[in-house]
Chain A
Amino acid sequence: MKAVLAQIAPALGDPELNLRRHLEQARRAARAGAVLIVFPELSLTGYLLQDLASDVAQDARAGAQTARLAAASRRTAIVAGFAELAPGALVHNAAGVWAKGALAHLHRKVYLPTYGMFDEARYFAAGEVLRTFQAPWGRTGLLICEDFWHLSSSYLLSQEGMEVLIVVSASPVKGLRASGGPAGAVWLSLGRVVAQFFGCYVLYVNRAGCEDGWTYSGGSFALDPSGEVLAQARELGPDQVTVRLDPSRIRQVRSAYPLLRDEKLDLVRRELDRIASARYAGS
C-alpha cells in the first residue's frame, strides 16, 4: 500500500489556492495508485495566521474547502490541516482524514505551543481528545506537531492499537549549529524512538517555504516499525516522496520485540492515579 508524503509550501491565508494544489497532488497520487496522501499542518491555510485564523476557519465537513477535499477522497485518502470552526465558535488547529468521500477522522491539536517563537494558544482552542481510527492501511493515530513532543500522545495511541502514526507539522528552522546536524534532525531522532518503542510506522510530514521571516525546514520522512528510514524528503524546499506500507512488517517487529504485549496498562493507570492525587493533594 503506497502512501505519499506531500511536503508543500502552503500559501498564507489563501485556502482556495491551497485547495487547488491539494486536489492536483491528490489526483496524481490516485493515478499512481496511492491509498493515502498526507499534507502538513495547516496545509489549507498556512501556519502564521494570527488573527487570520478565525477569518479562514471552516467546518470540518461542510466548509468551502473541506467539502471539496471530501469529494476528492474517493480513491485516495487525504490528510490535510486546516483551521476548524467548531461548535461554540471555537477555532482549532485541526487535521482531518478524508476517505471514501467523507470525513473519516478529525484531530484537534491538543498541545498548542505558546513559548519562544510560538503563540498558538492566543489564536486556537486546545483539543481534548486522542483517538486512533481504523483505515485500510491499518489502525492509525494522527498528531499535529507539538502533540508529538509529548510522549504520552504516542503512548496513548499505541495502547489503542496504533499501527501507523501520522505526524503533520510546520516546523521552522531554529538554532542552526554546525554541530547540530540538519535543521530537522531532532524530528528524525524522536521519530525513530517512537517507531521502535511502539512498533509502528511513522509518517512525518513537515512543510516547506517561508512566512514572516520563518523558514520551514521540510525533511519529511517515513520510518518502518523498526525505526529504519524508508524515505526522506529534502530540507527546506517542497518535495514529495512515496513509501510502501507493509502490515507484515508490524507483525515481524512485534514478534521480535513484544514490547506492547508486555506493557502493563493497569500498573501505569494505578501509578498515574497515585501521582496525580499526590500532586493535587492539599491544593
Chain B
Amino acid sequence: MPARRPPPRPDPALDLDLAGTQRVLTSFIAGEVLRTGRKRVVVGLSGGIDSAVAAVLARRALGASGVVAVLMPYRTSHPSSERDARRLTRALGVATERFDISPMVDAYFASDPRAGRVRRGNKMARERMSILYDRSEVHHALVLGTSNKTELLLGYGTLHGDMASALNPLGDLYKTQVRRLAERLRVPAAIRAKVPSADLWAGQTDEAELGHSYDELDRLLHLLVDRRGSRADALAEGWPRRMVDEVLRRIAGSQHKRRPPLVAKLSARTVGIDFRYPRDWGT
C-alpha cells in the first residue's frame, strides 16, 4: 500500500470559496471547450488527486459523454494507481482507455540503458502527452491539463510532458486547495489520502523531492506570489532563509517552463512579441 498522509488542516491564508471555485471551473471548461466546436476532453488519469479533480470537474461541465479518461501505466507504476483511477472512472461513468507505455519507453532506452531516472521519468511524461494528443484527435477532443499552481510555480513538472495541455482548470489552485476541492467534489477517499507522487520510480514522493511539505510551500508561495511579498517580508514572517531562497530560485529558474519558446525578433511584427492576439481568437 502507498503511504498515508494526515488529513489537511485548514489554512486561513489559502482561504478559498469552494462553491464559487467549482462554478467558475465548470463554466471555464464548458465555455472553453464548446467554443472550439469540440464537445469533449481527454484527460490522463494517474490515480492521483489532481487528475481526479480535473476529471470530476470535466464530467460536471460536459457530462459523461464529454470525458474520455486515459490510463497510461508504465511497468513500474504502483498497482494502486490504476486501481484507483478505474474506481473513479466507474463512479463517473466515463469512457476509459488504457495504453501501456512500457514498450515505447523501453524501446527508446534500449540503446541507452544507463539513462537515469529523471530522464526516464521525463520520457514517460512525454510519451503520455504524445498519446493524449493523438487520442484527442481520435475523439475530436481537447487535452485537459492537470498541473496545479504549486507545480507550475516551482517548475515541478515535465516541459512538453504533463505540463502540456489545451486548457488547465487547476493551474491557479495550490496543491492544498486542490485537496479541499477534492473533498467537496467527493473524490474517492483512497485517492485523497494518498501521499502525492509522480509515480515515475518506486518510492518517489513530491514532498521528498521538493524538500518541504505542500502545506509549507503553499503558504510561502501564497505570500511571495499572491500577496506580492518580498524576500524580506518572508524572512520577517519567520520563514527560514534557506527555504525562501530555494523557493525564489526555483520560481525564477523555471520561468522558461511557463512561457512559449523564445522567437528571435527580426521583422516589424513578430509572433509572440508584438503580434498579440487572444488565444481564443477565432473561436
List residues of A whose CB falls within 8 A of some B CB.
9, 12-13, 48-52, 173, 176-180, 182-183, 209-213, 215, 235-237
Contacts and interface: CB of A to CB of B under 8 A. Distances in A.
Nearest to A50: B276
A237 B276 CA distance: 28
Contacts of A215: 24, 27-28, 31
B283 interface: yes
B112 interface: no
The size bracket of the interface on B is 20 to 34
Nearest to B171: A213
Contacts of B17: 176-178, 180
Contact of A176 (B20, B32, B280, B281): B20
B279 to A, nearest CB: 5
A52 B277 contact: yes
Contacts of A173: 20, 24
A127 B241 CA distance: 48
A46 B20 CA distance: 23
A51 B269 CA distance: 12
Nearest to B30: A210
B230 interface: no
Given A9-B31, A211-B280, A236-B27, 4 more contacts: A50-B278, A215-B24, A215-B28, A237-B27
Contact of A12 (B16, B167, B275, B280): B280
9 contacts: A12-B283, A13-B278, A13-B282, A48-B280, A51-B276, A52-B277, A179-B15, A183-B20, A236-B27
Q: What are the nearest 9 A-B pairs in CB distance?
A: A210-B31, A50-B276, A176-B17, A178-B17, A48-B278, A215-B24, A176-B20, A212-B278, A51-B276
B130 interface: no
Nearest to B180: A178
Interface of B: 15-18, 20-21, 23-24, 27-28, 31-32, 167, 275-283
Contacts of A50: 276-278
A215 B277 CA distance: 18
B275 A51 contact: yes
Contacts of B28: 210, 213, 215
B278 A235 contact: no
A74 B208 CA distance: 69
Nearest to B275: A51
A12 B281 contact: yes
A180 B15 CA distance: 10
B16 A176 contact: yes
A8 to B, nearest CB: 13
Q: Which of B21, B27, B276 has the most CB of A within 10 A?
A: B27
Nearest to A175: B226
A178 B18 contact: yes
B186 to A, nearest CB: 19
Nearest to B168: A213
A50 B281 CA distance: 10
A238 to B, nearest CB: 11
A50 B275 CA distance: 9
A209 B277 contact: no
B15 A211 contact: no
Contacts of B280: 12, 48, 211-212
Nearest to A181: B17
Contacts of A177: 15-17
Contacts of A209: 31
B31 A13 contact: no
B9 to A, nearest CB: 15
B21 to A, nearest CB: 6
Contacts of B281: 12-13, 52
Nearest to B18: A178
A49 B32 contact: no
A15 B278 CA distance: 16
Contacts of B24: 173, 176, 183, 215, 236
Given A176-B24, A236-B23, A211 B278 contact: yes
